[in-house]
Structure 1
Amino acid sequence: MKKGAAILAVVIVVGVSVAVAAALRRDTGSSSLPTALAARTTFVDFLQLRGEIRPVRSIVLTAPSSGTDLQIVDLATNGAKVAAGDAVVTFDPTVQQRTLETKQSELKQAESEIDRTEAEQRRRVASAQSELDEAKKALERARLELHGNELRARIEAEKFVIAVSDAEEHVRELETKVDGERMAAQADVAIARQKREKAQFDVRETERIIASLQVRAPIAGSISLLPNFRAGGPGMRNAPEFKRGDRAWFGAQIAELPDLTSIQLTARVDEADRGRVQVGSTVRVHVDAVPDRELTGTLKDISVVAKPDFTTWPPVRNFDVVVSLAESDPRLRSGMSASARVELDRLPSVLVVPTAAVFQRGPATVVYVLHRGTFESRPVTVLRRGRDQIAIASGVKEGERIALKEPEQEGAAK
């Protein structure tokens, strides 16, 4: 009798232990799954973008469009504050200084040539004028001697008439010569002056080029150095900034003076998402360098034509978008990287669950609801799908806890 009672007690203890172990195992399995609460809130679907902060208004400082060797010998540091008129970029003026010396020497030669030409022409005109004066005197003497012709023999009188005629012809020739010398003198002086004007232009142009080799800030602001695309090697996605010693090309964009009182975000949208974004959408912007602040903006513009992006292969096509930001921050700088969340859809006061909590079981969409220590499968009707959230029309109640992983997969993993 006692032996039977002992056996019964042992069986009862073993049964209770097994039940407790099973319950603990079930609770442990349930509690090991990550869960979330179904909450009634505002459903927001968004598109994640990456872009950079750009000023609405900025002044780009470029290399001059003239000169030969555009090597940078002095350059303001990135982020340095400058006042209007301060030198930002200085290019090597050695070649142009030598050219200026040559042009100045040519100008002095042209001015000396004018002096020589004018002196020579004055001498030639004076010499021709002297000959003309002497011819006129000879003509007057011939005319005086002609007065006594009525007393002379006919042959002798004709000689005096011919002498007067020759003297008159000689005077006319010399007058023509004097006029010709004056015209030649004016032409020679004009040519010499044209040479001088050309030399003066060359000097002024060279001085202008030398002045343009030092680029100054037109307004006050902070310098933002731009990338030197010719310095990057093949396959480099991010070109280095311009620095001292770099050689620029005509019109190269060296630095930027941004007006950061009004800023915007420039980004690109994949062609697959183009139909989902609309001008006027609300945008939330987080700047990587300013993690403690969120900026609010509005999608201002979307490009009409897609541009190929050759940083990937095969290249994809993207649309440029511009987000205007309603506020700024003194810590912001042009070119800072930022992430943006473009609001695509908004549903107020709907039941929302995480995207990871909804599963597809054949044709049915289900969630796993925690009920009395176990997860039960429950079909749901999806109202709207988003990137991180799904709006549920029916099938789950507010406040219910749902699994973020399928219980069967969790068990199989164990």
Structure 2
Amino acid sequence: MTARTIGLLAVLLGLTACQTETDPTPALQLKPQPFIHQVQAEGELFAVNSTSINAPQAQGPRLIAEIQAEFTELQPGDLIVRFDARQLQREERNAQHGIATIDTERTQQQSQQASELTSLALSQALVGQEFGFADRFSIDDVQIRSRLEILDSLQNRDYLEEKKQFLTWQQDSFTIKSSGEQELLQLRLNQQQTLLETAQTGLNALEVRAPHAGILQLDSDWRGQKAEVGSMVFPGRRIGSLPDLSLQHLKLYVIEHEAAGLAVGQPVQFALAAHPATQFSGEVVRVGQVAQSRQRRDPRRYIEVEVAPTEQSPLFMPGSRVMGQIQLASADALLLVPLQSLFSEENQLYVWQRQGNRFVRQPVEIGQKSLTHAEIVSGVKAGDQIALTEPEAAP
């Protein structure tokens, strides 16, 4: 083997050794860069001030016979909803018939009571006359009448006395009984009158009209359905509202695990789903404290955020869908690393920093963090290189 051949072999071996020692893990050279932390949110517009449209406080549920379409422009006094009157009219007729029946029963009962009282009074008068006659013509002289006749006369007088007391008791009992029957009839009459008044009140409240100008917005129930013709509505239930279109806010929903850092005063950029090319700005004015589900089959939970637009627009309509971005934090120049390049062991964060041809662990501390990047506060500096993934030859 010649010296030239030996030299070529040495060079090839050296190159092979260098390639083996150099870690092929992708790396990133750190440098300051702008930091913007935004979260996506979606929701809808709503009127800050609105008049609630509720079903009347009538007895029992009512069926809707006529209702205006949602987003109908209304003027004061315009009909919003009319309820079916057939059930109330039937209840009114039944109550009127009940009152008439009770009045007839009362008349018959009063006539019967008067007849029975007259009969008792005649019986008492007759017993009184017989009792007076027995006293007047009572003869106790045995020379005139026999003892048997005298005893018979005395027994007849005792019988008349007992009969007189019985008739008095019977009259008192009849008076008490008659009074109870009249009170029972009065209770039944009061009940029917109450039913009649309730039915008439319901008939007078079959229509709900607009108290002021506005655009009708209907509410959805727990199944997502809105009131329509034929729907059953319970007393006092909110059917919809008449919003004041001059002042509208946004109601945005942020996924719970992305909501860290939400605060009042943060800027918002949003667009209407119907006009995606037109951008609007606003500011967070309220952040919900409790995460809640939005749909029954959606396991995710959301934080509700209220946003006040910088200015109102004719394009705004309550219920319109909006999509926006909430800016949680921003900075002009921070030392940022992707979250995938951060590792943790025993509650200590570290990165893999390049030193020569290999990567070594370097503990770091982080500051602000977004969904994709984190600020490095200490541990590495601008110009250093870190591994984007765990090195293949990590110890």
Note closer, same or farther for the CA distance 1:82–1:157 as it changes in structure 2 (3 Å cut): farther
Q: How many residues align?
A: 320
Matches within 5 A, 1:232-243: 241-243=226-228
Q: Quickly say closer, same or farther: Cα 1:63–1:145, change in 2 above 3 A.
A: same
**Paired residue secondary structure (1:203):** helix
| CA apart distance, 1:52 | 0.7
Q: What's the TM-score, normalizing by structure 2? A: 0.65
- Corresponding residue of 1:6: none
Q: How far apart in 1 are the matches of 2:182 and 2:303? A: 65
1:271 equivalenced with 2:263 (yes/no): no
Partner residue, 1:186: 179
- Alpha-carbon distance between aligned partners in 2 of 1:383 and 1:301, rounded to the nearest angstrom: 23
Match of 1:207 among 200, 204, 207: 200
Q: Give the direction of change, closer, same or farther, for the CA distance of 1:197–1:316 in structure 2 (3 Å limit).
A: same
Instruction: Report the residue type matching 2:89 in the other structure.
Output: Q
Q: As a proportion of its length, which structure holds more helix?
A: 1
- Does the CA contact (< 8 Å) of 1:145 and 1:160 recur in 2? no
**Contact 2:42 2:254 (C-alpha < 8 Å) held by counterparts:** no
* 1:173 Cα deviation from its structure 2 partner: 0.8
TM-score calculated relative to the size of structure 1: 0.62
Q: Aligned-pair distance for 1:247?
A: 2.5
Per-residue CA distance 1:248-288 (angstroms, 9 max, x = gap): 35366532223445543222111221213234434344445
The CA RMSD over aligned residues, in Å, is: 4.3
Q: Distance in 2 between matches of 1:142 and 1:325?
A: 109
Contact 1:222–1:257 at 8 Å: present in 2 too? Answer: yes
1:338 counterpart residue number: 322
Amino acid at match of 2:92: L
**Please, which of 282, 293, 296 is the counterpart of residue 296 of structure 1?**
282
Q: Is 1:323 aligned to 2:272, yes or no?
A: no
Deviations 1:309-336 (A, max 9, x none): 4555xx3232233335576456533212
Aligned to 2:120: 128
Match of 1:113 in 2: 105
Does the aligned pair in 1 maintain the 2:262–2:287 contact within 8 Å? no
Structure 1 pair 164–246 and aligned structure 2 pair: CA distance change class (3 A): closer
Distance in 2, matches of 1:214 and 1:391, equals 62
Q: Which runs of 5+ in 2 are unaligned?
A: 1-32, 335-340, 342-351, 354-365, 384-395
Deviations 1:83-133 (A, max 9, x none): 666531112222332333233222211221112112211221222122112
What is the deviation of 1:175? 0.9
CA contact (8 A) 1:351 1:391 kept: no
SS at match of 2:232: coil
Distance 1:341 1:112 in 2: 76
Question: Is contact 2:269–2:279 with CA below 8 Å preserved after alignment?
Answer: no
SS at match of 2:287: strand
CA distance in 1, matches of 2:156, 2:180: 36
Letter in 1 for 2:325: R
Answer whether contact 1:79 1:223 (CA < 8 A) is retained.
yes
Tell me how far apart the structure 2 counterparts of residues 242 and 196 of structure 1 sit (CA, whole Å). 38
**Maintained 8 Å contact 2:282/2:307:** no
Question: Which amino acid in 2 is paired with 1:296?
Answer: G
